[in-house]
Structure 1
Amino acid sequence: MRSTHVSQNNSKSSIGQGIIADVVKGALAGLLGTLAMDAVNSLIFRRHGPRTLLREQSARIMRKPATLGGISNRLNGAFGVEMMPKRSAGFATHYTVNVLPAIGYGLLRKRVGFIGKGKGLIYGLAAFALLDEGLAPLLKISSGPRAYPVQTHLRGLASHLVMGLVTDQTLDLLDRGADKIASKGEQVDIAIGQDNRFVETQNLGSPANDEPGIDAMDSLGDDLGDDLGDDQGIDYPGSPTMI
């Protein structure tokens, strides 16, 4: 009963450790994925023509990027005064919004089969559709989809697909690294167990425990008892032939 209780506790502990590890890996993968997304977004943005840039700029809330302008707009509505947070606040919000879904993706992709399909491309597409095109306008963080030129939407789609791909590939690399470490740990445990069993076997078969000298004396006593018993009809305690 005690062993069953201990095994259940060990199982719960290993599950908890696995979840924590997946959260950490998801956060790291999400950070790298967001960096890749920003790099692609910036690269494509520089290739837009003047008309596209002008229309996108006019569509932005307070003429700022979505996270920074959206935060300012929400603060202004809440406090009734014009407030412009530091640029660092916009970056912090941007990375938080993109890292949190990556943590969820890291937790679910191995536990819910279809979520991990597409090597992260489906995840990137879902993030683009739900966050950029859906949630951001709904929360008044950005203008509606029609306010932006088509090029802006295509740029957002491409950068989010890259984000999903990098996030998924990073998770794969981290999983493989963790599996190798776990495999080496199991090999060490097996080797230690084999060494322990070898030592126990040697101890059980050692002369100190078997005491062959005492066994030889007992056998000699039995033989003498048998001979005397046959000659005199006397049973001796050491003889196995007592009838």
Structure 2
Amino acid sequence: MTHPTTTTTENLPDGRTSPPEPSRQEPTEPSPVLPSPAGDPATAPAPAHHVTPERSIALDMILGAAAGAAGVWAMDRVGWFLYNHEDPAALEREHQARAGGKDVAHAAIEKAADMTGIDLPTGEPNSAGIAMHYALGVLPGALYGAARHEVPALRAGYGALYGFGLFALMDETVAPALGIAAGPTHYPWQAHVRGLVSHIVLGIATETVLRVSDRVR
């Protein structure tokens, strides 16, 4: 705020006149900028919008099933390589421990045929046993595909944790409990190592396929 400049003169008692009072100007201070009232849409800064596409659980499960099938294929490549380079004595002990002399998938088909009375192929290998073998990777893969975004910890180790979980749950626990495999102590350590490594490969391959699908969706 400023005072106006005085230009008039005043008469002194002796008839003299006083010189005009010099103008005085107070220094001006900039007006403070007050923050805009909260909730004022006209003055509040526009919020940043992060648009994320809605996820479809059904699509996640389909992609997880496909990734699980790819994981089984990769697991078989590694598993057969290790099997063909394993100690013959360990392989003999493993075959003696198998339920009915069959692997888990074919033993499951044979058990299902016995329980249902349905005429299913019992030789090894057969189409039903191979389908069961892939189903053991496809069905968990579908569940994994639906859950991996909701529980990111499942993806630990680039899918290695998922593969380890399948090995511990299915090979070491569920299969013996269902009677389609012997207990863990009946198998040589080489069989356990081969199963563990193969399932970790399955988990990594499954996660790799799903990560690629995440990028292209």
Task: Decide: shared fold, TM above 0.5.
Answer: yes
Is 2:141 aligned against 1:70?
A: no
Largest Rg, 1 or 2: 2
Q: What's the TM-score, normalizing by structure 1?
A: 0.62
CA distance in 1, matches of 2:134, 2:170: 13
CA distance in 1, matches of 2:149, 2:114: 42
SS at match of 1:141: coil
Alignment of 1:80-91 (within 5 A): 84=122, 87-91=126-130
**How many residues in Structure 1 have an aligned counterpart in Structure 2?**
164
Contact 2:120 2:128 in 1 (8 A): no
* Aligned match for 1:107, one of 146, 150, 154: 146
Contact 2:159 2:204 in 1 (8 A): yes
Contact 2:78 2:198 in 1 (8 A): yes
Aligned alpha-carbon RMSD (Å): 2.2
Alignment of 1:1-243 (within 5 A): 18-76=56-114, 79=117, 84=122, 87-178=126-217
Aligned pair in 2 of structure 1 residues 18, 67: CA closer, same or farther (>3 Å)? Answer: same
Tell me how far 1:82 sits from its aligned partner.
10
Structure with more helix by fraction: 1
CA distance in 2, matches of 1:88, 1:166: 24
SS at match of 1:168: helix
Identity of aligned residues (%): 38
2:48 match: none
CA distance in 2, matches of 1:157, 1:56: 15
Runs of 4+ in 1 over 4 A off after TM superposition: none
Q: What's the TM-score, normalizing by structure 2?
A: 0.70
Contact 1:41 1:155 in 2 (8 A): yes
Aligned pair in 2 of structure 1 residues 82, 76: CA closer, same or farther (>3 Å)? Answer: farther
CA distance in 1, matches of 2:121, 2:80: 27
Contact 1:30 1:98 in 2 (8 A): yes
Aligned pair in 2 of structure 1 residues 124, 82: CA closer, same or farther (>3 Å)? Answer: closer
In structure 1, give the amino acid aligned to 2:60. Answer: D
Tell me how far 1:113 sits from its aligned partner.
2.6
CA distance in 1, matches of 2:148, 2:216: 17
Aligned pair in 2 of structure 1 residues 53, 24: CA closer, same or farther (>3 Å)? Answer: same
Tell me how far 1:123 sits from its aligned partner.
0.2
Contact 2:109 2:120 in 1 (8 A): no
Tell me how far 1:117 sits from its aligned partner.
2.1
CA distance in 1, matches of 2:66, 2:121: 32
SS at match of 2:142: helix
In structure 1, give the amino acid aligned to 2:152. Answer: G
1:199 match: none
